[in-house]
Amino acid sequence: MSKPLCVMKFGGTSVGDASCVARAAQIAARQAAHSSVIVVVSAMSGVTNRLIAAATRAGTGDRQEAAAALQDLKQQHDAALAMLISHQDERDKIALLMQEILDEGRRLCEGTALLCQLTPRTLDSISSLGERLCAPLVAGALAEIGVRSEAVDATELIVTDGYHGSAEPLMEATRRRSEARLRPLLDDGLIPVVTGFVGATSEGVLTTLGRGGSDYSATILGAALGADEIIIWTDVDGVLTADPRLVAGARTIPDISYREAAELAYFGAKVLHPKTLRAVMEAGIPVWIRNSFAPELPGTKITPRGRTNGGGVKALTAISEVALISVGGPGIVGVPDVVGRTFSTTAAARANVLLISQSSSQNDICFIVASADAARTVDALRQEFSKDLSHQQVEHITLDPDIAVVAVVGENMRGTPGVAGRTFSALGRDHVNIIAIAQGSSETNISFVVERKAMKAALEATHREFALEKPGS
């Protein structure tokens, strides 16, 4: 009988330096004693940010910053290599490979600086360098402890569409390629160490899955190969009741459903890339979130149905890189199809609308988009409604950039009366002003808009109200 298959992803902090990489290798090696293992790696922490900053500067003609960044990355990876790999031959082999990757990065940045133009395609190639540098290091660390492994570039496995910066996998092609490339390695008892975050179009052009996308890489590969479980190793104990950086009493949730976890991720819980669970929905593969710095802890298990907590609210999340746009004024009642026109305009502007709220009199439609999309969306709306604005039927199209959305999430809120009431009373008690409210019909989520400076207070008030710091709540 074949062994179970486990896909493990290590995030940036979990491979942040030589000792972290060594710990990650130990974790994978332990798992390999009783299952087949595929490792997916992120770039070392901070590396992708640095690369993107360098690429952006190169786009303005500045080649110094890119040269400095690549030099720093070389030092960082060389230092890790020296600490991790004792055999000179092996070390030289990996160092050569890394040098080739860095040289490619230098050429890409120089070309960008020369043209003073950074295309999305080049940005993807530059931002993928961190994962490409990391995979051989982790594979080398496994070999060092006697575990056979091979670094594999995800461009050979994950086939995507051509939407640079946020590509979508084409699952059938991905399945075929992953089977052909990885199955023989697994059958041979090797651990493939795959670059997270990246893919390639069927023509072979490199793409990325979006920031934080290595989580998604892990579930894409897990689904493609019919894995038995996926473990996402990170720097916190699991999915917590709130972001621990914002709420001191946040607690690890032992079990959570796909839907709840997806809702949290969608509304900003960075612990999971928002699309992570999409890939495994159909197959129902369990996904664990665990702490690579405390591997003895069980972490959080994400399954299709989770486990009911009886009480309703499971966790909170907040997202601050968003802006509120409102289209309104008493006159808009008479404007034909104002709602349809508003949202076909946001769609044409490719703005992702996170939340919509409309007053019943139709006096005001307000919605939330990512900050990066906000100015573009407002311009497009002003153009669409230019005639109505000049006749003053639509009185305003405004943008508020200083807001945050807080979401209260829990599958069992459905049928639990009073959650909304308790939420808003708690906020009132703590003098948090609510700007807009939305509740999905699935009732898995109540979200509300507050001033950005009140975000932390809003999270603390609701966390306390639902006693989320207490085990079993």
Positive or negative: CA dihedral 227, 228, 230, 231: negative
165 binds ligand ASP (CB under 6 A): no
Q: How many residues bind ligand ADP (CB under 6 A)?
A: 21
Q: Which residue is nearest to Mg ion (CB)?
A: 212
**Which CA distances in Å does 345 have to 145, 237, 328, 385?**
56, 42, 15, 10
Question: Which residue type sits at 133?
Answer: L
Shorter beta-carbon distance to ligand ASP: residue 151 or 432: 151
Residue 212 zone, left/alpha/beta (φ > 0; ψ -120 to 50; rest): left
Out of 212, 222, 306, 328, point to the residue binding ligand ADP (CB under 6 A): 212
Q: Which stretch binds ligand ADP (CB under 6 A): 113-121, 237-245, 445-453, 463-471?
A: 237-245
Q: Which of 54, 202, 235 is nearest to 130 (CA)?
A: 54
213 binds ligand ASP (CB under 6 A): yes
274 binds ligand ADP (CB under 6 A): no
Rounded to whole angstroms, the Cα distance separating 43 from 130 reads: 4
Out of 197, 233, 367, 448, point to the residue binding ligand ASP (CB under 6 A): 197
The item of Mg ion, ligand ASP, ligand ADP, none sharing an interface with residue 13, based on CB under 5 to 8 Å by kind, is: ligand ADP
| Paired residues of 318 in beta bridges | 406
Phi, psi of 237 (to 5 degrees): -75, -5
169 binds ligand ASP (CB under 6 A): no
The item of ligand ADP, ligand ASP, Mg ion, none sharing an interface with residue 211, based on CB under 5 to 8 Å by kind, is: ligand ASP
243 binds ligand ADP (CB under 6 A): yes
Question: Which residue type sits at 289?
Answer: I
The item of ligand ASP, Mg ion, ligand ADP, none sharing an interface with residue 345, based on CB under 5 to 8 Å by kind, is: none
107 binds ligand ADP (CB under 6 A): no
Shorter beta-carbon distance to ligand ASP: residue 13 or 317: 13
141 binds ligand ASP (CB under 6 A): no
Shorter beta-carbon distance to ligand ADP: residue 195 or 201: 195
Out of 13, 178, 214, 345, point to the residue binding ligand ASP (CB under 6 A): 214
Q: Which of 169, 174, 123, 135 is nearest to 38 (CA)?
A: 135
Phi, psi of 73 (to 5 degrees): -65, -40
Q: Which stretch binds Mg ion (CB under 5 A): 7-15, 297-305, 351-359, 370-378?
A: 7-15
Burial class (CB in 10 A: 0-12, 13-18, 19+), 188: exposed
Beta strands 353-358 and 396-409, pairing class: unpaired
Q: Which two tokens stand for residue 91?
A: 């070390």
A 10 A CB-CB count for 117 gives: 13
Q: Which of 167, 143, 288 is nearest to 227 (CA)?
A: 288
Out of 105, 130, 268, 328, point to the residue binding ligand ASP (CB under 6 A): 130
196 binds ligand ASP (CB under 6 A): yes
A 10 A CB-CB count for 273 gives: 23
The distance of closest approach from Cβ of residue 289 to ligand ADP in the complex, given in angstroms and rounded to an integer, is 7
Burial class (CB in 10 A: 0-12, 13-18, 19+), 458: buried
Q: Which residues contact 255 (CB under 8 A, 6 or more apart)?
A: 300, 301, 302, 303, 306, 307
Interacting positions 33-52 with ligand ASP (CB under 6 A): 42-43, 48
196 binds Mg ion (CB under 5 A): no
Q: How many residues bind ligand ASP (CB under 6 A)?
A: 12
Rounded to whole angstroms, the Cα distance separating 192 from 124 reads: 23
The distance of closest approach from Cβ of residue 363 to Mg ion in the complex, given in angstroms and rounded to an integer, is 41
270 binds ligand ADP (CB under 6 A): yes
Rounded to whole angstroms, the Cα distance separating 369 from 389 reads: 22
- Based on its alpha-carbon atoms, the radius of gyration of the chain, rounded to whole angstroms, reads 24
237 alpha-carbon distance from chain centroid? 17
Q: Which stretch binds ligand ASP (CB under 6 A): 186-194, 211-219, 252-260, 447-455?
A: 211-219
x-or-dash string of contact with ligand ADP, 17-56, rule CB under 6 A:
-------------------------x--------------
Q: Which residue is nearest to ligand ADP (CB)?
A: 11
Rounded to whole angstroms, the Cα distance separating 307 from 177 reads: 35
Out of 107, 245, 350, 391, point to the residue binding ligand ADP (CB under 6 A): 245
295 binds ligand ADP (CB under 6 A): no
A 10 A CB-CB count for 339 gives: 14
Which positions lie near ligand ADP, rule CB under 6 A? 11-14, 42, 212, 234-236, 239-240, 242-245, 264, 269-271, 315, 317
Which positions lie near Mg ion, rule CB under 5 A? 11, 212
Which positions lie near ligand ASP, rule CB under 6 A? 11-12, 42-43, 48, 130, 196-197, 211-214
